[in-house]
Structure 1
């Protein structure tokens, strides 16, 4: 793992920070978030990724960098009993400490992670920053309130940690399950891109805004290719100073 070589790790962080325009501590946290996602299936095949970090990692927006990882658990029925929820979460509870140790991180002992009659479990993962003498936490939350409404699909986890010469990923981000028909997530993606376009200096965004608006109106389960093209254009457009935006 690249973080095991501190000098090379800091270089990789610097390269990603320069490319994406985020401060180094946020890029470092994004690296650890990506590592966790790359093997989260080891905890359970029934974990479904959701939330703002999902938008970033599934659709590769890289507009906001999140502080946490949010999942739903696929349950045996829509409203599972407390006993069924406990049975679903038990493999995660059994594996989670060793799971996080493989990344050079540790599980924060913050008491019982179960909340709301076993409908929610919250863990905190801790890593030592390579940039400064501090420990940083990542929140890892699993909801067991009800089954996801949307169709569950699987997609590669995207990240910005690339080889400086070849452009190849420095590590495999793996694949993650996500709710592909989540309208609220798609709406958030639409708003994120429009906000980013509005922040641009010296470029005409009218055509881009029109394409995105039309694309959003036609959204079904997948983000249209046109939106992907807009995101690619955003990478090449002039940016403001590095921003510290957190979900």
Structure 2
């Protein structure tokens, strides 16, 4: 089975000609979907993060022919601020390991940003 990370530029260019979406956007969305799947399968992250916003609504309910190039999560693992603050380093470490495995650039802050290497 071919890994999602092994999809070639040519694959996305062919798919682009069929869908009329730009190949770079298709690849970003494809890789974001892979990240969502990995987070959902991760033993710690799947119970701590929930997908929210327009991407969640589109992917789960409507499947509109619109491609979003971001994903938003809320942390739902702990209720109190102190509990959330103490859980954050473990969540960040789990995400960091996942992003390294997925060959993503990332930084943590108020918002988490993930960039895909070309």
Structure 1 runs of 4+ aligned residues shifted over 6 Å read: none
1:126 partnered with 2:104 = no
State the partner residue of 1:93: 92
Q: CA deviation at 1:63?
A: 2.4
The TM-score with structure 2 as length reference comes to 0.76
- What does the per-residue CA deviation read over 1:52-101, in whole Å, with 9 as the maximum and x for residues that have no partner? 11123213524221121101122544xx3x21221343321122221101
- Matches of 1:15 and 1:59 in 2, distance apart? 27
RMSD: 2.3
State the partner residue of 1:183: none
- What does the per-residue CA deviation read over 1:185-238, in whole Å, with 9 as the maximum and x for residues that have no partner? xxxxxxxxxxxxxxxxxxxxxxxxxxxxxxxxxxxxxxxxxxxxxxxxxxxxxx
Residue 112 of structure 2: SS of its match in structure 1?
strand
Structure 1 residues 97 and 75: CA distance shift in structure 2, 3 A: closer
How many residue pairs match? The answer is 113
User: Greater RCO between the two (CA within 8 Å, min separation 6)?
Assistant: 1
Partners of 2:4 and 2:34 within 8 A in 1: no
State the partner residue of 1:196: none
Partners of 2:12 and 2:26 within 8 A in 1: yes
Structure 1 residues 61 and 33: CA distance shift in structure 2, 3 A: same
Q: CA deviation at 1:2?
A: 3.9
The TM-score with structure 1 as length reference comes to 0.40
State the partner residue of 1:48: 50
1:73 partnered with 2:71 = no
Partners of 1:20 and 1:62 within 8 A in 2: no
Q: 5+ unaligned residues in a row in structure 2: which ranges?
A: none
Larger Rg: 1
1:26 partnered with 2:25 = yes
